[in-house]
A = this chain, B = another copy of it.
């Protein structure tokens, strides 16, 4: 749906790009398709965006601004031990926003330029950890340890079944021939989970990994 009345602007171009990615996936985000979306020729976009790389930088900026807005709204004063609850809440809120833009993590990982909204997000997180009693040195390590988890996502490269899809007995036996340990794990874990719900819930696993790291950091906080 082209909105041709309003004149173009960087902001309007970027928002249209996010709409396309949300609706049709990141693969649908081409300069020609984006021109169509804003009711202009593809070439007109270059007056508001340097090139496609710049477009993708801007698109990430829009999404992380949405995260920052959501996270700012829930903020509480932090002192001492409650740092963990506050950090956890921020990160899970970031994750909620990203679930509305499932293509965004993939794009974020291709960016190399520092993004002001990403900096803003981490700046607040550093402030929170410092108020919570962390040394700057430990905070620096903590940011690396969290990595993309700080912003609410992890890129899974090992997807043993789709979570919802419980493997059949036949599939398990075929797997067991080549990968006995994996098959053993799957047999037990899928059995415990029952068959109605998926045996592998992304949200649960994200929170598990996050808590392992946050607990570990909390322990280091009090010992160094």
In angstroms, Cα B216 to Cα A23, docked, is 40
In angstroms, Cα B123 to Cα A112, docked, is 33
- Whether the pair A123, B179 counts as a contact (CB closer than 8 A) is yes
Q: How far is the CB of A154 from chain B (nearest CB, A)?
A: 5
Q: Is there a chain B Cβ closer than 8 Å to A209's Cβ?
A: yes
Number of interface residues of A (CB under 8 A): 58
Q: Would you give the 0/1 interface string for A114-126, flagging 1 where the beta carbon is closer than 8 Å to chain B?
A: 1010111011101
Q: Residue on B with the closest CB to A191?
A: B136
- Which one of B108, B123, B148 contacts A182 once the chains associate, using CB atoms below 8 Å? B123
- Whether the pair A154, B147 counts as a contact (CB closer than 8 A) is yes
Q: Is there a chain B Cβ closer than 8 Å to A100's Cβ?
A: no
When A130-B181, A141-B205, A216-B212 are in contact, do A158 and B118 touch as well, CB less than 8 Å? yes
> What's the number of copies of this chain in the assembled complex?
2
Q: How far is the CB of A205 from chain B (nearest CB, A)?
A: 4
In A177-224, which residues have CB < 8 Å from any B CB?
Answer: 178-182, 184-185, 188-189, 192, 200, 205-206, 208-209, 212-213, 215-217, 220
- Whether the pair B119, A179 counts as a contact (CB closer than 8 A) is yes
When A109-B109, A185-B140, A188-B137 are in contact, do A123 and B180 touch as well, CB less than 8 Å? yes
Q: Is there a chain B Cβ closer than 8 Å to A143's Cβ?
A: yes
Q: Is there a chain B Cβ closer than 8 Å to A81's Cβ?
A: no
- Whether the pair B118, A157 counts as a contact (CB closer than 8 A) is yes
Using Cβ atoms and an 8 Å threshold, which residues of chain B touch A119? 178-179, 182
Q: Residue on B with the closest CB to A134?
A: B185
In angstroms, Cα B141 to Cα A189, docked, is 10
Give 6 closest A-B pairs by Cβ, nearest first: A145-B209, A144-B205, A127-B181, A123-B179, A212-B216, A126-B181
Task: Name 24 A/B residue pairs within 8 A (Cβ), A-sorted.
Answer: A108-B157, A109-B109, A111-B157, A114-B159, A114-B160, A118-B157, A122-B158, A123-B180, A123-B182, A130-B181, A136-B185, A136-B189, A137-B188, A137-B189, A137-B192, A139-B185, A140-B185, A140-B200, A145-B212, A147-B157, A151-B157, A155-B155, A212-B217, A213-B213
